[in-house]
Amino acid sequence: MIRDKENDSKDFRDTIKHLGLPMIDHLGDDEFGILNIKLPHPDIPYKTPVWFRTNCFSLTLAVDASGRYTSKSNVFDISPGTLFFSRPDTYRQLEWHSLNEIYHLTFSERFLTKCAGVELFKTFPFLLLETVMPMYANADIFEDLRRIYNLIEQEHHGHSALKKNIIANLLTRLLLKMKSNFWQDYDIKFDKTLNNDVVKQFINNLEQHYHKIQQGDTSILLRVNDYAKMQGIHENYLYNVVKEKTGKIISQWIAEKTIFVAKNLLEDRSFSIKQVSYRLGFSYVSYFTIFFKKHTGLTPKEFRTVNNRL
């Protein structure tokens, strides 16, 4: 899904169309998408028409491509053999000087949690704050990554009832390979500034609280001030640091996590919509319905109906 200042496309296919990239081989939905380009782009040099951002993580293997990646704070050169990724809600522009072979994956936190049982930020802490980390892998490492990618693509063309689970586990394997080769000493290398520690602790507190909500151990919705008190800091300081370091304000983090847990609970038919609403801390089902539709485009009942067809 793409969100920019001029356009609000609905899914990964619309994103590719909006950016003018060729639909060589695309498969995917809002939780997982895959793009495979193995032919030269017809209009080189090429630059994305606007700043854009997606609501998911993206991972790109530039096998035979060169260009430039620009975020709001950094510019990175892309050359053949480059691996890079982006966090959700990061504004970016891409410029390609050559584009002959490139593999691109997008995935949501929920996709890995639901289909592979992976707690994203505990297993892959390097995804926490990095905007983009271009890496220039040697031939052996890059070939290993491409091999896993090809297995993901092959599975996506298959018809197994467990296709998403297999893909999620292969994607986990790909991320573990990245962690092993590029972030093995991540905790040591991580910038140990106070601000980064504050953000890491905020996200850890957020994850723990919503785990309690999902387990039914609490039905209290915490606000900015509550998370600030947990660290003994002023809420304005927490607000500014989180926004600066992640590109998202705290209310976005809270809303996204609320929707994340709401979807998980709604998929369990043993819970009524009323029970889900109260577990998430909403006083009235109508409030929950308005909130859920605002962030997903569907009412909780419609979400259950659509999800039941998948």
Q: Which domain holds residue 261?
A: 194-309
* DSSP H or E segment with residue 85: strand 82-86
Name the pairing type of β-strands 26-28 and 135-136.
unpaired
Same domain assignment for residues 48 and 127? yes
Let me know: does 170 contact 145? Beta carbons within 8 Å.
no
Same domain assignment for residues 244 and 184? no
**169: CATH:** 2.60.120.280
What's the pLDDT at 114? 87
Angle at 159 between CA 156 and CA 160, to 5 degrees: 95
**Which of 128, 157, 188 delimits the end of a domain?**
188
Instruction: Provide, rounded to the nearest whole percent, the portion of the chain with pLDDT above 70.
Output: 79
- Give the gyration radius of the chain's Cα atoms: 20
Same domain assignment for residues 14 and 90? yes
**274: CATH:** 1.10.10.60
Give tens-digit pLDDT for 6-37.
Answer: 444 445 556 666 666 554 444 456 688 888 77
What's the pLDDT at 157? 85
Q: In angstroms, rounded to a whole number, what is the distance separating the alpha carbons of residues 157 and 151?
A: 10
The DSSP symbol for 297 reads S
Phi then psi dihedrals of residue 11, to 5 deg: -150, 180
Contacts of 258 (CB under 8 A, 6+ apart): 210, 221, 280, 291
Same domain assignment for residues 291 and 153? no
Same domain assignment for residues 163 and 213? no
Number of domains in the chain: 2
Same domain assignment for residues 163 and 241? no
* Higher pLDDT among residues 252 and 179, named by residue: 252
**Which of 188, 203, 224 delimits the end of a domain?**
188
Let me know: does 60 contact 80? Beta carbons within 8 Å.
no
Name the pairing type of β-strands 92-107 and 57-71.
antiparallel
Same domain assignment for residues 43 and 84? yes
Same domain assignment for residues 28 and 122? yes
**Which of 168, 188, 208 delimits the end of a domain?**
188
Instruction: Provide, rounded to the nearest whole percent, the portion of the chain with pLDDT above 90.
Output: 31
Q: Taking all residues of the chain, what is their mean pLDDT, rounded to a whole number? A: 81
Same domain assignment for residues 7 and 156? yes
Q: Tell how many helices (H) and how many strands (E) occur in the chain.
A: 13, 10
